[in-house]
Amino acid sequence: MARRVLHDEYFKRAKREGYLARSAYKLLEINERFRLLRPGHRVLDAGCAPGSWLQVAGELVGPRGVVVGFDLTPVTHAMPANVRTVVADARTLDAEALIALAGGRFDAVLSDIAPSTSGHGDDLVSARLCRSLLDALPGLLAPGGRLVMKTLEGAETPPLLAETRRVFDSARLFKPKASRGASRETYVVAEGYRVPREPQAPRDHGPDGPRR
């Protein structure tokens, strides 16, 4: 009962403090723990609708920073002046267009994308979405940049973490307190991006589409 009351409190806090969803507190906790987003940063939010992470990131980078978000679903809520959004698919990104909106490569890439859940193989689809994002990083993330991406824990979690560590100085799993207790979601938090010297051929990640 106490755990359910705790999670309800995040929902109430979001309403009270003006965030669009309780997921805002996941990013706030991640950033409090790892200090990934700083004033003046350029940040990309993948799968940004309805916009709670845009709100948080916009606050953290301040007026000298910029946040660019994309999603298949348009963001209709008013956002801070330093936030820009476009309609786009995570699997077919135009990296140059996103960088142009930000004025340069991103200091951090965020993703709270989750698969359309079916109850079977969701963790595999989630890992596939994360790998799509890893494949896109050479065209998006600045050297030394940071990454936060949600995944559903399962058999693919250890290899996904190992793949992330190959191109970052450090990568770890972190589950915020604001995540629902019964949820399998966890976050890969990585720092110190090392841009691959040789471009890699894109992987076939299948037809499964993302949702927020």
**Residue 191 forms part of a structural domain:** yes
Predicted local distance difference test score (pLDDT) of residue 17:
65
**Residue 66 forms part of a structural domain:** yes
Predicted local distance difference test score (pLDDT) of residue 12:
76
CB 164 within 8 Å of CB 171: yes
Q: Give the H/E segment covering residue 190.
A: strand 185-193
Q: Give the H/E segment covering residue 149.
A: strand 141-152
**Residue 190 forms part of a structural domain:** yes
The backbone torsions φ and ψ at residue 194, rounded to the nearest 5 degrees and listed phi first, read: -115, 105
Which residue pairs from 35-39 have beta carbons closer than 8 angstroms and sit at least 24 positions apart in sequence? 36/108, 36/146, 36/148, 36/189, 36/191, 37/61, 37/108, 37/146, 38/107, 39/64, 39/65
Instruction: Provide the 3-class DSSP secondary structure of residue 7.
Output: helix
For residue 59, what are the contacts with CB-CB under 8 A and spacing of at least 6?
80
**Residue 110 forms part of a structural domain:** yes
Helices (H), the chain: 2-17, 24-34, 52-61, 95-102, 122-136, 157-167
**Residue 73 forms part of a structural domain:** yes
Predicted local distance difference test score (pLDDT) of residue 114:
79
**Residue 5 forms part of a structural domain:** no
Active site residue 175: no
Counting the structural domains of the chain, the total is 1
Predicted local distance difference test score (pLDDT) of residue 199:
53
Q: Compute and round to an integer the Cα radius of gyration of the chain.
A: 16
Euclidean distance between the first and final Cα of the chain, in Å? 27
Ordered per-residue pLDDT tens for the chain, 212 residues: 444 555 577 767 776 766 888 899 999 999 999 999 999 999 999 999 999 999 999 999 999 999 999 999 999 999 999 999 999 988 788 999 999 999 999 999 999 987 766 566 788 999 999 999 999 999 999 999 999 999 999 999 999 999 999 999 999 999 998 887 678 899 999 999 999 876 555 555 444 444 44
Tokens of 167: 């191109």
Distance CA 128, CA 107 (A): 23
**Residue 181 forms part of a structural domain:** yes
Segments forming the whole domain that contains residue 78: 23-196+203-211
* Burial category of 35 from C-beta neighbours within 10 Å (exposed 0-12, middle 13-18, buried 19 and up): exposed
Predicted local distance difference test score (pLDDT) of residue 206:
47
**Residue 93 forms part of a structural domain:** yes
Predicted local distance difference test score (pLDDT) of residue 210:
43
- CATH number of domain containing 190: 3.40.50.150
The reported pTM is 0.87
Predicted local distance difference test score (pLDDT) of residue 178:
85
Q: Check 15, 150, 175, 177 and give the catalytic one.
A: 150
